[in-house]
Structure 1
Amino acid sequence: MRVPKNQKKLHTKFIFITGGVLSSLGKGLAAASIGALLEARGLRVTLQKLDPYINVDPGTMNPFQHGEVYVTEDGTETDLDLGHYERFTSAQMSAKNNYTSGKIYYSVITKERKGVYLGGTVQIIPHVTDEIKAAILDLASSQIDVAIIEIGGTVGDIESLPFLEAIRQLGYELGKDNALYIHLTYVPYIKTAGELKTKPTQHSVKELRAIGIQPDILLCRTDRFLPPEIKKKIALFCNVEEEAVITAKDVECIYEIPLVFHQEGLDSKIMEYLNMWAREPDLSIWENIVKTFKNPKDEVTIAIVGKYVNLKDSYKSLNEALVHGGLANNLKVNLKFINADELTPENIEKQLKDVDGILVPGGFGIRGMEGKLLAINYARTKKIPFFGICLGMQLAVIEFARNVLGWKEANSTEFDKNTPYPVIYLMKEWYDYRKGCIEKRDEQCNLGGTMRLGAYPCKLLQNSKVWEAYQKDEIFERHRHRYEFNNAYRKDIEKAGLKVVGTSPDDQLVEIVELENHPWFIGVQFHPEFKSKPINPHPLFKAFIKASYEHKKQGG
């Protein structure tokens, strides 16, 4: 028997996760939960998302269509599923953990233009599939035991075919013990018939097998645990072992998913099929998280005033970070989403009177700006804990300049290029630097043109609420923005009571502002939500939820 050429070369084993029947079944959460289970057994994991859309990255995509843009430590704008990967595991994501069809095709076309293919006819097979395989195999190293690869979209989509063909080829080249296929599908319960229906799963697996992939394990998304007879039926018609039919049951808390998968025997089956040995998993951390989530001592209500509130995935990391802040304080966090477009002086009291904290998240563009400014003013004057993130911090500065300093036309040059008080502006030095990088085609500066992306250092001022939260003199946080605080107005703004408590090490970039004589009013230029985990809640979210609960206990 011929030994596949790559079988003996790689220390890393691969798990390929596909989805069928319909979208939004939770492949990302399934992949992240599998990563958590394997880490609980002492294995080292990494994860990768392969998205079929033609966009080179999600950076320019509408949040209503695609959800949030998740930013990695190295400044890559990625799919939101990478946020799940980092929250559930200790793996740190980077540019090589998210590829799109656009990114793959762009690389292939660039090579063709440079003559790499020596005049040959460039085709989907082998050129595009080889590019995909190279991106997958780039994850392999002696430091990684298992790489989990999630294929975006649904089996049957024309856009997904090159990715599916690539992993089909890899399964053969790597060998059976080194590659495992897991297919997430749907088993609906029909109330009128009182039955669970397996036909959607059968058709989905049939579609997958038609392109040459036989799944080893089926994750069956459903609202109840599958009875043995249903598992037996699915196993028979889908050509898998009965023990490899795993219930992916709906849960109240997403951090319960690893526990459900372990209960169903998923991690043991993975170890068996990949011919690996590891200790039994220690899931006590996840058990404690779920226990805390389900048994809070009390609850708080946080208003999120934004313009993407009609799609909760637009603020996915933010929502989870608030939950983490609740876990750290043994509190249930109720999220009240308020459309900034619809907030007016007439209805603001009705909308915000019952909330314990107010958060204004990041975003781009002028739409919803006035509603956000109203919410910030309400938080400042009513002494309600306030957290402004990125644009939320910039708007807090604008609101303060207008209503405390009396600069009624204060604004950001993003919204008004002719404002007489540009308290937020596009820093010329930064813009020129980025422009120069792009013109020189400096690969180290391929971070979104004029945007500041990824992790940057920030020094903290002691005797501030921010320092109390972090207990550090210097932090590193991830950014995704273009406009900055204008230092020309810093002295006047600080003198009036809005203190700068966090800056870049050279003191040129303002990172954090904090209001004097207020229970908790903080604005940050970065996105702390990207570094929060249920196991390790972010200090600022922990402090914000604590302050909100103190506000509630004092009667609002």
Structure 2
Amino acid sequence: MARFIFITGGVVSSLGKGLASAALGSLLQARGFSVRLRKLDPYLNVDPGTMSPFEHGEVFVTDDGAETDLDLGHYERFTGVAARMTDSVSSGRIYSNVLEKERRGDYLGKTIQVIPHVTNEIKDFISVGEDEVDFMLCEIGGTVGDIEGLPFFEAIRQFAHDKPRGQCIFMHLTLLPYLAASGELKTKPTQHSVKELRSIGIQPDVLVCRSEHPIPEKEREKIGLFCNVRKENVIAAYDLKSIYEAPLAYHHEGLDQAVLDAFGISPAPKPDLTVWQDVADRIHNTDGEVNVAIVGKYVQLEDAYKSIKEALTHGGMANRVKVNVDWVDAEVFDHEDAAPHLEGYHAILVPGGFGERGTEGKIRAAQFARERKVPYLGICLGMQMAVIEAARNVAKMGDAGSEEFNHEAGENRFIPVVYHLKEWVQGSHTVKRKVGDDKGGTMRLGAYDATLSEGSNVARIYGNTAIEERHRHRYEVDTEYKDTLEASGLQFSGMSPDGRLPEIVEWKDHPWFIGVQFHPELKSKPFAPHPLFKDFVRAAVENSRLV
């Protein structure tokens, strides 16, 4: 039977609940415990799948095809535990489930209310798989006091009440602002946040306080006294140079010990932090640096490409180099030469995206990388743009494009080398989609197998010809043009097992040019960098020596 840790936040958003949860999970693992992390989001979207990246950052996709909050990426990167569909839920999903049950008559004609029907649905979600692990960490999105979050706070209060004493604890993350004029940290916002939490029946057992300055012992005592928390359980969370320092930093502050003490686990197993010490060493002791351009359309918000940025960092760790990332807006050279914007970079990465905006710039970026022999990694749409560039400029296929944004023919006949995927095999059944289907949850989502060509660059990188990667897209490269494109030198080096769907392309005569239809960044971790990112950074290092 799992012990439950509920992580809440107060004062302001974006304090790092997801990172604190992930770091705590990794510390519990270091002490020999098994963990699973979950995210409960108060927004009314059913999932983040149809939300703009500018609104919510990237969408993290699980092996079983769930479109989830980006915090699940933190959970996986820090613990190595693959997230599942049952690890992410929103108010929209909860209310949708309740209304579906009401329509079916499951409630036998009762009046449907937040208590008990909505809160029971939330508690049922929290309980899934509780017998599988030692600790279940559940992060509540938003901050205490948010009106949309009240059902979740009430549900975890009830859940802890229903469980035997000592099986659930609450960890609350707050902010200690520093007033330069008076030269002091202010504890009042934290006091008010805890007061708000206690007013709905939740007493935090552990307080994690974000601060830019050291927290004096006197202030810890004051916080503990006014918030009814042991002084030893008031944990400082300082700004770090790298998020991967968090496990060691939190351990140094005593977070994992405070949690185990709150559960009454004594004596606590000693932690083995070797993995995180190695990660920290690779961050701080590098042998050089490389400059990588990410050419995208959501570059104003870095969280839109969160996993890609982290996967590049992991690739840098594997090669003991620092990866400097520049965010390049693809729209800037939609109608002009890309060279002035991309010269000097040691590698170019074009990520996924949706819609027409910026696509011509991405095509020009692929052309620049191909012609100048600059290492190139195209992910999802980035692969499709590389194929369109090859069709137009090498195979001389004229007005080649994608059905996603080319709806009419130009002067020449429009050639849809990328088309809307209407049918594919998932497991033992066939999935069918129409262009007019709802947007949410209708893409090719989750983990799929691929077969790599013997002797190809990707087969060398993976060290295997059978791989499994996560997908999130509704358009595919058309195999009708495969022979024409391969005759021009673009190798289709990875295909779906049935040979119908292209997964990977690469240029045979290029030092390192690979496009993948899937999202390899979702499976990369600091202690296990993804092979593609590891080798991509290696190629960037080699190129840096030639520039």
Which TM bucket (shorter chain)? over 0.9
1:409 aligns with 2:428: no
Does the CA contact (< 8 Å) of 1:46 and 1:139 recur in 2?
A: no
Tell me the residue number matched to 2:522.
Answer: 530
Secondary structure at 2:306 match in 1: helix
Residue 333 of structure 1: CA displacement?
0.5
Tell me the residue number matched to 2:297.
Answer: 307
Residue 26 of structure 1: CA displacement?
0.5
Residue 176 of structure 1: CA displacement?
3.2
Secondary structure at 1:176 match in 2: coil
User: Which contiguous aligned blocks of 4+ residues in structure 1 show a shift greater than 4 angstroms?
Assistant: 344-347, 436-439, 446-450
Give per-residue Cα distances to partners, 1:467-503, cap 9 Å, x unaligned: 1111011000000001111111000100100001111
Specify which of 270, 287, 300 is matched with residue 297 of structure 1.
Answer: 287
Deviates more, 1:428-437 or 1:77-86: 428-437
Residue 123 of structure 1: CA displacement?
0.5
Q: Distance in 1 between matches of 2:18 and 2:344?
A: 35
Secondary structure at 2:481 match in 1: helix
Which letter maps to 1:165? E
Q: Distance in 1 between matches of 2:140 and 2:372?
A: 48
Which letter maps to 1:139? G
Instruction: Name the count of aligned residue pairs.
Output: 539
Secondary structure at 1:434 match in 2: strand
Give per-residue Cα distances to partners, 1:318-363, cap 9 Å, x unaligned: 1100000000000100110011111256563332112110000001
**1:170-249 map, 5 Å:** 170-249=159-238
Does the CA contact (< 8 Å) of 1:478 and 1:526 recur in 2?
A: yes
Q: Distance in 2 between matches of 1:166 and 1:343?
A: 51
Q: Distance in 2 between matches of 1:275 and 1:187?
A: 28
Specify which of 420, 426, 448 is matched with residue 426 of structure 1.
Answer: 420
Residue 15 of structure 1: CA displacement?
0.1
Tell me the residue number matched to 1:7.
Answer: none
Deviates more, 1:149-158 or 1:168-177: 168-177
1:169 aligns with 2:158: yes
Which letter maps to 1:422? P
Q: Distance in 2 between matches of 1:256 and 1:447?
A: 38
**1:249-328 map, 5 Å:** 249-277=238-266, 278-328=268-318
Residue 226 of structure 1: CA displacement?
1.5
Q: Distance in 2 between matches of 1:369 and 1:346?
A: 13
Residue 401 of structure 1: CA displacement?
0.5
Which letter maps to 1:211? I
Unmatched tracts of structure 1, length 5 or more: 1-10, 440-445
Change beyond 3 A, Cα 1:447–1:145: farther
Q: Distance in 1 between matches of 2:433 and 2:488?
A: 37
Secondary structure at 2:235 match in 1: strand
Specify which of 75, 89, 96 is matched with residue 65 of structure 2.
Answer: 75
Does the CA contact (< 8 Å) of 2:422 and 2:432 recur in 1?
A: no
Does the CA contact (< 8 Å) of 2:176 and 2:187 recur in 1?
A: yes
**1:84-99 map, 5 Å:** 84-99=74-89
1:544 aligns with 2:536: yes
Q: Distance in 1 between matches of 2:337 and 2:313?
A: 27
Residue 275 of structure 1: CA displacement?
2.4
Specify which of 360, 378, 385 is matched with residue 388 of structure 1.
Answer: 378
Does the CA contact (< 8 Å) of 1:434 and 1:449 recur in 2?
A: no
Q: Distance in 2 between matches of 1:12 and 1:433?
A: 37
Identity, in percent, stands at 54
Does the CA contact (< 8 Å) of 1:438 and 1:449 recur in 2?
A: no
Q: Distance in 2 between matches of 1:191 and 1:283?
A: 37
Residue 262 of structure 1: CA displacement?
0.6
Q: Distance in 1 between matches of 2:373 and 2:489?
A: 14
Tell me the residue number matched to 1:133.
Answer: 123
Q: Distance in 2 between matches of 1:450 and 1:65?
A: 20
Secondary structure at 2:158 match in 1: helix
Deviates more, 1:516-525 or 1:186-195: 186-195
Tell me the residue number matched to 1:106.
Answer: 96
Unmatched tracts of structure 2, length 5 or more: none
Does the CA contact (< 8 Å) of 1:176 and 1:274 recur in 2?
A: no
Which letter maps to 2:146? D
Secondary structure at 1:177 match in 2: coil
Secondary structure at 1:554 match in 2: coil
Residue 554 of structure 1: CA displacement?
1.2
Q: Distance in 2 between matches of 1:390 and 1:168?
A: 42
Change beyond 3 A, Cα 1:342–1:425: same
Q: Distance in 1 between matches of 2:395 and 2:351?
A: 24
Residue 434 of structure 1: CA displacement?
3.0
Q: Distance in 2 between matches of 1:482 and 1:251?
A: 38
1:475 aligns with 2:467: yes
Q: Distance in 1 between matches of 2:505 and 2:154?
A: 51
Q: Distance in 2 between matches of 1:316 and 1:429?
A: 30
Q: Distance in 1 between matches of 2:96 and 2:335?
A: 49
Change beyond 3 A, Cα 1:167–1:47: same
Deviates more, 1:275-284 or 1:121-130: 275-284
Q: Distance in 1 between matches of 2:339 and 2:218?
A: 56
Does the CA contact (< 8 Å) of 2:50 and 2:439 recur in 1?
A: no
Does the CA contact (< 8 Å) of 1:76 and 1:447 recur in 2?
A: no
Tell me the residue number matched to 2:488.
Answer: 496
Residue 447 of structure 1: CA displacement?
11
